[in-house]
Amino acid sequence: MLWGPPGIGKSTIVAEVARQHDLQLVDLRLSQLAPTDLRGLPVAENGVSRWFPPEFLPTEGRGILFLDEINMAPPAMQGIAQQLILDRQVGSYRVPDGWYIWAAGNRKADRAAVFEMPSALANRFIHLDLVPDLDSFKAWGLRSGLSEQVLAFLSFRPTLLHHISPQDPAWPSPRSWSMADRLHAVGLPVDPAVGRATAGEFQAFCNIYGKRRLITLLTKGCREVKRRGRDAARRSRRATGCHRRDRWWRFGC
């Protein structure tokens, strides 16, 4: 059971684990289901009712059955999940071997619209608390192609990787920084994703970052011109047999 604030990347972590280990992933949101949806429908057969499970439940292969946002489901649905999690079955349906059952949920402290998890259900899990970690996010961002401006800004202001703002519906999180990066890439403001205050800091940083990057590139280019000039001079002296040690070329850089 993964616990953590909204936007920290719980769902992304599970999807990444499934991808790395070549596992199927079934993302099941209990809050969107009724109790009969999970148990299936009864069908009369030879005078006996048989329960036909829904098609979204796995029947073969290997994978992760992921009960995301589990504590947003009402108590009735969480109660049905107890048998699924501990006994790996609901009614006549049984989870195949090779499938792992994971879950994730937000915390009440983060103003998430969640129900209290029953103690009987909580006792069926191993619980892991996730916290924002800049190094992990930067490693993920480099693999995923996040812009250097976003990664550099968060290195400069690490506390803005995840900061819930009670006054603003948009606030910075690993998830919203990913959205902000896409907005920034097409020249749009990022405040709809990370909030006005954070967006203002980010824009000011980008303005300074762009100027410093230009100076760095110009300086690097000047050094490159000098290096190429020296190499060309050496080749010319070798080709003409001239071994004068005086510097017969100058650069204005």
Strands across the sheet containing 24-28: 24-28, 63-67, 99-105, 2-3, 128-129
User: Comparing C-alpha atoms, which of 157, 244, 142, 140 is closest to residue 200?
Assistant: 157
Domains of the chain in start order, with CATH, are: 2-129 (3.40.50.300), 133-253 (no CATH)
The pTM of this model reads: 0.74
Tens place of pLDDT per residue across the chain (253 aa): 999 999 999 999 999 999 999 999 999 998 888 877 887 777 877 878 777 888 889 999 999 999 999 999 888 888 888 888 988 988 788 999 999 999 999 988 887 888 888 888 999 999 999 999 999 999 999 999 999 999 999 999 999 999 988 788 999 999 999 999 999 999 999 999 999 999 999 999 988 877 665 455 445 555 554 555 555 556 555 555 544 444 433 434 4
Output the six-digit token pair for 205. Answer: 């940083």
Q: Which residues contact 141 (CB under 8 A, 6 or more apart)?
A: 150, 151
Q: What is the DSSP letter of 89?
A: E
User: Which secondary-structure segment (H or E) carries 45?
Assistant: strand 41-45
| Distance from C-alpha of 16 to C-alpha of 3, rounded to nearest angstrom | 17
